[in-house]
Amino acid sequence: QVRLVESGGGSVQAGESLRLSCAASGLTPYANCMGWFRQAPGKERERLATIYTDAYLRSGDPLYADSVKGRFTISQDNAKNTLFLQMNSLKPEDTAMYSCAAKYLECSVDSDDYRYWGQGTQVTVSS
């Protein structure tokens, strides 16, 4: 059974940083894509960043949405089956529920393609 559990959200001031974690269990060790998404009230879910869990076997870098490129960094600790999202220079418009997700095979920009989801962690950025 696949399980994803996010942590690390909270309330911060604009310009500060947060690091989100997503502990994964039950996924096969290869050929998986994991990503971070967010959804603010009244808005559609937004893909932030994706990475292949077998990135050491593939070419190519993680992919980022333009809205977070240069500020957010996705990374993983394969030994601990944990996905991270380092968020720097946070802005009030980054306020949302942040979730990690996973799918088999190729990464996708469409959140509907992701089969497994965590429960989410709230990030609130005040000005």
Would you state the pLDDT for residue 121?
98
Residue among 4, 96, 103 at smallest CA distance from 48:
96
Distances (CA, A) of 28 to 32, 52, 102: 7, 12, 11
pLDDT at 56: 58
Return the pLDDT at 19: 98
pLDDT tens over the chain, length 127 residues = 889 999 999 999 999 999 999 999 988 766 589 999 999 999 999 999 999 887 556 656 788 999 999 999 999 887 888 999 999 999 999 999 999 999 988 888 899 999 999 999 999 999 9
Indicate the burial class of 75 (C-beta count within 10 angstroms; 0-12, 13-18, 19 or more).
middle
Residue listed under structure tokens 């220079």: 89
User: Smallest Cα–Cα separation from 46: which of 70, 20, 67, 21?
Assistant: 67
How many angstroms from the chain centroid is the CA of residue 51? 9
How far apart are the C-alpha atoms of 5 and 119, rounded to whole Å?
7
DSSP state of 114: -
